[in-house]
Amino acid sequence: MDFPRLTVFRAVAQYASFTKAAEELHLSQPAVSKHIRLLEAELGVTLFRRLGNRVELTDAGHIVRDYAQRVSVLTEEVQRVLDELRGLQRGHLRIGASSTPGLYILPEVLARFQKEHPQIETTLAITNSSDVTRRLLDGEIDVGFVGAVEQDLAGLQVRPFAEDEVVLIVPPQHTLAQQHTYTPGMFAHETLIMREKGSGTRQVVEAAAAQLNLRPNRLFELIGGDAVKRAVEAGLGLAFVSHRAVMLEEMSGRVRLPDISDLRFRRQLYVLTRKDARPSATVLAFLALAMKMKPNSMASFSHATRGGVLNE
């Protein structure tokens, strides 16, 4: 739809007159009439009733006027944000992220952002998904990146960011390293090492365990993904972690990833912003760069994901 035509339409609707609209827009009356005629042809409706020297909106015209007003507001908003971006010279960006996006995706984005906007002071707090959500709602951070979303997020805008895969890791010599098929009893004598409550990875694992009737002999809880990886290397048990987090350990042989398709779970990573606060130009600039640089698919992983799709 042609924006100038909507501008002309709004002027005619406001003044209920082609003549007054033409004077306001510094156009000829025939030009105004042509804009309205083309707009009516494009939409396939009549927008005005002619009443002598005045006009009035039809029912369709009232509907189009409401939408035209929204378009006008959004157009002004876009222009204002772009003006801010052009003048993006200073500010403070506070980012919160759970461990997977915070450690394995965002650092490269931050490095590029700092290079392009060296005067912007940027902080990144890495914690679990639940804490990122709380900090965003409390106004402690400007934008959040998480591995899981909670049920009640009425105050937040939630958008997909990137894909991830949660995989099972075991010590190198563990018998499950050679397994290729999942059976419900295969964890009956095993210790499963879990992240702390509030972790997005833990939420994925708990949901998957319920679906698969996965019942370990013992649960061992640790705070942080690095602690979980080190515990598996030491032989304390088995764990589910983001594949991004164990690529180096897998390549060096410090852990093994059993080739069991049922124990690989795809999940979505998300970006969160507050609904009640318009994102600043700094936040918008960072989000634009993050979406541009994000991994496009799971193809960057050393193993393709097979089966085990978990919808959160």
pLDDT given for residue 79 in this prediction = 67
Do 144 and 181 sit in the same domain of this protein?
Answer: no
Separation between Cα atoms, residue 251 and residue 194, nearest integer Å? 23
Same domain as 276, residue 158: yes
pLDDT of residue 234: 93
In a domain, 305, yes or no: no
Q: Is residue 309 part of a domain?
A: no
The CATH number covering residue 132 comes to 3.40.190.10
138 & 283 share domain: yes
pTM metric for this prediction? 0.66
200 with 172, same domain? Answer: yes
Can you read off the two tokens belonging to residue 5? 């035509």
What pLDDT is recorded for position 90? 66
What pLDDT does residue 303 have?
Answer: 40
306 found inside a domain: no
Res 91: pLDDT: 72
Q: Say whether both 178 and 211 belong to one domain.
A: yes
Inside any domain, residue 129: yes
Provide the pLDDT for residue 92. 81
For residue 187, give its domain range: 164-267
pLDDT at 308: 37
DSSP 51: E
Taking only the tens place, the pLDDT of each residue in 104-159 is 999 999 999 999 888 888 999 999 999 999 999 888 999 999 988 876 677 889 99
Q: Residue 47 in contact with residue 60, Cβ under 8 Å?
A: yes
Inside any domain, residue 138: yes
135: in domain: yes
Note whether 263 and 276 are same-domain residues: no
Of 271, 256, 149, nearest in space to 200 by CA: 149
The pLDDT value recorded for residue 75 is: 77
Contact present, 25 and 19 (Cβ < 8 Å)? no
On whether both 34 and 153 belong to a single domain, the answer is no
Same domain, 287 and 152: yes
User: Which residues of the chain fall short of a pLDDT of 50?
Assistant: 297-312
From the list 242, 269, 245, the residue with the least C-alpha distance to 145 is 269
Identify the pLDDT of residue 151: 65
What local confidence, expressed as pLDDT, does residue 164 receive? 92
Among 86, 107, 141, the domain boundary falls at 86
The answer on 72 and 44 residing in a single domain is yes
Non-local (6+) Cβ contacts of 274 within 8 A are: 136, 137, 139, 155, 156, 157
Residues 6+ away with beta carbon under 8 Å from 145: 95, 96, 97, 98, 101, 102, 105, 106, 132, 161, 269, 270, 271, 272, 290
215 and 274 within one domain: no
Residues 142 and 189 in one domain: no
Domain of 78, CATH number, reads: 1.10.10.10
Question: What sign does the CA torsion over 9, 11, 16, 17 have?
Answer: negative
Q: What is the pLDDT at residue 85?
A: 59
Mean residue pLDDT of the chain comes to: 86
Instruction: Give the span between the Cα atoms of 305 and 167, in whole angstroms.
Output: 9
Residue 233 is predicted with a pLDDT of 94
Q: How many domains does the chain have?
A: 3
Residue 228's pLDDT is 94
